[in-house]
Amino acid sequence: MINLIDIEQHKNIVCSDEVLKDIQKKFLLVSSKQLAHFLGKKNDSSLRAARHNGTGFKPYKDRHGNVWYNLIEILNEIGLTNGNH
């Protein structure tokens, strides 16, 4: 599991609006419950099982232990986008 960068450690770093727009095109974090709903699943138990087994979609974890998935990465992985958005 990959830990997200703790923003508090980097709060003095300033980036341009263009950089933020580019980041927004690459990341859209959703919870496993949200992802399960998006994929038409009854609940997120299969996502949890896949995560436990080290398979499935790449999860991200914040400093509080919450698990997130990047919906844009998943859409690209399953072939629902052309990689440009």
Predicted confidence (pLDDT) per residue in 32-81, tens digit: 999 999 999 999 999 999 999 999 999 999 999 999 999 999 999 998 87
Higher pLDDT, 45 or 11: 45
Phi-psi region of 15 (alpha: psi -120 to 50; beta: other; left: phi over 0): beta
Higher pLDDT, 35 or 2: 35
Strand pairing category for 29-31 and 59-61: unpaired
Both tokens of 27, joined, read 């990341």
**For the chain, domain boundaries:** 16-77
Instruction: Say if residue 2's pLDDT is above 70.
Output: no
pLDDT value of residue 22: 81
